[in-house]
Amino acid sequence: MKKLSTVAMIATLVSASAFAGEHTINAVGRAGWTYLDNDYKKTGNSNSSSFNIDYLRTTFAGTVTPSVKYFLTTDFLTVNDSATSAKKDSVDGTSTFIDEAFLTKSFSTGTSIILGKKAVLIGGREYDYLNFDRYSTSYFFQATPANQVGLTLTQEIAGQTLMAQYFNGNKDNGKGAGTNAQSKFGWSVGWNGSLLNGIIKPIVAYTVIPEAGGTNGGATSLSGVRDNKGNDNFMSAGLQFNTPHDVVLEVDYDLLTEKYAVGTTAATKKDLKTTSLVGLVRYAGERFSPFAKYIADKRKTASVKTAQRSAYDVGVEFKESKEDAFRYHVVYSGATVKESMNTTEVKSSPKSIMVGLKFDAAILK
């Protein structure tokens, strides 16, 4: 079958005669200067200071019919590695260049069906932000999966959104990234709520992702690979409080359980658990938005604590005018990290400073 090139696909999407509907193209990115103090004496990792572009994507959105919409995101910062990004996914056929690509069909009953590649449904307020609006992140967030191809069902009821998702799961099944050996799917259910006329907004979800032995999944991707096959169970509950004075408060409780992740025999199999508490306070002004974020992370193998971290961000985001496409930021981050607590504990205190801007420019609207 003949395939469309990326350029041809984009040209088709933006052609005025392609669909009878409205279409937009946006270039979105974040860039700036970052200083990293990695606490060299404790970690052996050198400090660094550099200019960088840490987010650069283009979004294409529009309507096919009044009840059908499309959304496509291309990621220009995918790793230039012939072993990974240059090859398509052996299961879903996409590359990492295609970050999102899905169609949404809406019905008059408040039901929507979404088919394609999109974010896996994970609860909590921290996960609800886009990447260019995050700085320090929790261990739980760092263990969440990449976008997957699947089916999402949503239902609007009295201002509440109920969600269910079914998506590709153990994609390589331990056979390697170049082989389609998937045998199990992942699934998720959740609730995106609005209470007291939007004063309180909860996001709650439970997600199950099957993993094969010998693969990087969940929190094990930060320190090693799974010894055994098992499910990564993500449970997250977050609340956002919107006060009358433009002060926003957010709090999350997150728990990841990696079933049977370590142990080479039936008698030694153990679960890995990652717990994160995340709090955020922000003044949501039209031009100035100072904020502070706090993260408390903990990792355990069975009931034995192996690592913990306390981290924080203090910063301000601001625009020259409310409609400005550029948003500037200055953020100071710090942390106290304890690793290998069950053996020889290593304690460090990394810090960072970020100064830069985010842009969201309309190419076509």
Alpha-carbon span 18 to 104, nearest angstrom: 17
Task: Place 343 in a pLDDT band, splitting at 50, 70 and 90.
Answer: confident
Instruction: Assign residue 205 the CATH number of its domain.
Output: 2.40.160.10
Average pLDDT over residues 21-39: 93
pLDDT at res. 176: 56
Residue 93 included in any domain: no
Q: What is the mean pLDDT of residues 142-165?
A: 95
The count of domains in the chain is 1
Tokens encoding 55? 């987010």
pLDDT score recorded for residue 20: 52
Structural domain contains residue 312: yes
Residue among 73, 72, 69, 71 nearest 105 (CA): 69
Range of the domain at 160: 40-52+108-364
Nearest to 102 by CA among 28, 167, 8, 156: 167
Mean pLDDT of the chain: 87
Contact 260/228 with Cβ under 8 angstroms?
Answer: yes
Residue 103 falls inside a structural domain: no
On whether residue 14 sits in a domain, the answer given is no
Q: Report the alpha-carbon distance of residue 298 to residue 218 in Å, rounded.
A: 14
Residue 216 has a pLDDT of 65
Whether 141 is covered by a domain: the verdict is yes
Position 79 confidence tier, pLDDT thresholds 50, 70, 90: low
pLDDT of residue 364: 85
Residue 12 falls inside a structural domain: no
Tens digits of residue pLDDT in 175-232: 655 666 677 899 999 999 999 999 999 999 999 999 877 666 666 544 567 788 889 9
Q: What is the pLDDT of residues 36-71, one digit of tens each?
A: 999 988 888 899 999 999 999 999 999 999 999 999
Is pLDDT above 50 for 145?
yes
- Residue environment code for 106-128, b if the CB has 16+ CB neighbours within 10 A, otherwise e: beeeeebebebbbbbbbbbbbbb
Q: Which of 116-120, 134-138, 171-175, 291-295 has the lowest mean pLDDT?
A: 171-175
Position 301 in a domain: yes
The Cα–Cα gap between 338 and 5 comes to 48
290 assigned to some structural domain: yes
Arithmetic mean of pLDDT, 327-347: 93
Measured CA to CA, the distance from residue 161 to residue 66 in angstroms comes to 21
What tens digit of pLDDT does each residue of 229-272 get?
A: 889 999 999 999 999 899 999 999 999 999 988 887 777 888 99
| Predicted confidence (pLDDT) at residue 32 exceeds the cutoff of 80 | yes
CA distance 225 to 245: 47
